[in-house]
Structure 1
Amino acid sequence: MRSLHIELRSETVSADEAFSRISDFERYPGLVDEVRDVTVRTREDGHLVSDWEVFFRNGPLRWSEIDYVQPDRRRIVFEQLSGDFHMFRGAWTVTPVNHGSCVRFEATFDFGIPSLTGILDPIATKVLKEGIAIIVYSLLGGATVIGDPAVEAAVARKVGVTEEPARVLTR
């Protein structure tokens, strides 16, 4: 089982607006090549279920998750209902910072293949962190990765930033 987190800060998008943009999962396929499809539907109890298809290691990775959207807390907690992971769960949290916002994504996952954990988990961690960072960067019209220079550099390469990437913030 592997856990990860990534944080990005926007100085220009408020926490409420950032949360609204982050919550729009169906926009994600247009923001990053790896996310092929996201379909969101509402259950009778009001919670969302989202179906995901992501390109990973030369093939599709698919799952359905329940999404507990908590707008008053600017938080989305999710957990896989079915799919290719043995277990996948986590949360999005958006907090106000000065006039902007801080977006935190955290996840714990397990592919359920112990013999490949050493190979798959680091690759999946890298793909998830970079993909989430690019999505947040795109949704917010720019953002700074906090405390992860490798992800900051990957975002700069993938979004075509020609100048030096913004300084990586530390806590």
Structure 2
Amino acid sequence: MPRVTLDAILPGTTDTGAVFTRLADFAAYPKYTDAVREVTLTGIEDGQVASHWSVNFRSGVLCWSEHDRIDPVALTIDFTQVEGDFDRFDGSWRVTAAETGTRVRFTAAFDLGMPSLAAIIDPIACQALAESIGLILRGLFGEHITVAEPVTAAQGG
């Protein structure tokens, strides 16, 4: 299954709580980046959120709904798609202190549901996902952030 891990460093930013608060405000994403068309939230209770996403992806639009578990103490967000354009899409966001600022790590595993084309499509999808996450992070936190080259695995368990 394809996997993507992307790290971003927000230099000089030491308030991990503030970074996490902005990251967890999904509904505001369209204000910060054109990569996200719309996010609506429902079912907010006890750190659980149902979010519904519409995101520009390459030359098309991907739509899905996910369950998000938001933990402001651990500074983590774990998500799992419950329906949408992927056969499977789940992962996490983690905010941690870094030597030069704050680190935001995005990890995800996905399955596009096209096994006969996976060898061709999965590497392209990994790259497109990493690019989209980079755009979202720069939109949320500014162009000055450092986004590392993503670690991707187009095939794997």
Distance 1:145 1:55, change over 3 A: closer
AA aligned opposite 1:144: T
Distance 1:7 1:44, change over 3 A: closer
Mark the runs of 5 or more structure 2 residues left unpaired by the alignment: 151-157
Distance 1:44 1:20, change over 3 A: closer
Other structure's SS at 2:12 match: coil
Pairwise CA distance, 1:90 = 0.1
Distance 1:144 1:40, change over 3 A: same
Distance 1:89 1:130, change over 3 A: same
CA distance in 2, matches of 1:105, 1:119: 23
Distance 1:16 1:61, change over 3 A: same
- Note if contact 1:74-1:95 (Cα within 8 Å) is conserved in structure 2: yes
CA distance in 1, matches of 2:31, 2:88: 26
Pairwise CA distance, 1:139 = 1.7
Decide which structure has greater strand share: 2
Pairwise CA distance, 1:15 = 1.2
Q: TM-score with structure 1 length normalisation?
A: 0.78
- Partner deviation per Cα, 1:97-141 (whole Å, 9 max, x = no partner): 246210000000001111221232222211211121222223223
Q: TM-score with structure 2 length normalisation?
A: 0.84
CA distance in 2, matches of 1:57, 1:16: 32
Question: Which residue number corresponds to residue 10 of structure 2?
Answer: 10
> Residues 124-139 of structure 1: matches in 2 within 5 Å?
124-139=125-140
Q: How many residue pairs get matched?
A: 148
Decide which structure has greater helix share: 1
Question: Which residue number corresponds to residue 29 of structure 1?
Answer: 30
Distance 1:66 1:17, change over 3 A: same
- Structure with higher RCO (Cα < 8 A, 6+ apart): 2
Pairwise CA distance, 1:84 = 1.1
Question: Which residue number corresponds to residue 167 of structure 1?
Answer: none
CA distance in 1, matches of 2:46, 2:16: 26
Question: Which residue number corresponds to residue 88 of structure 1?
Answer: 89
Q: Percent identity?
A: 43
AA aligned opposite 1:143: I
* 1:143 counterpart = 2:145: yes
- Note if contact 2:3-2:109 (Cα within 8 Å) is conserved in structure 1: yes
CA distance in 2, matches of 1:31, 1:44: 25
CA distance in 2, matches of 1:140, 1:23: 13
Runs of 4+ in 1 over 6 A off after TM superposition: none
Cα RMSD of the aligned pairs, angstroms, is: 1.9
Mark the runs of 5 or more structure 1 residues left unpaired by the alignment: 150-171
- Note if contact 2:33-2:136 (Cα within 8 Å) is conserved in structure 1: yes
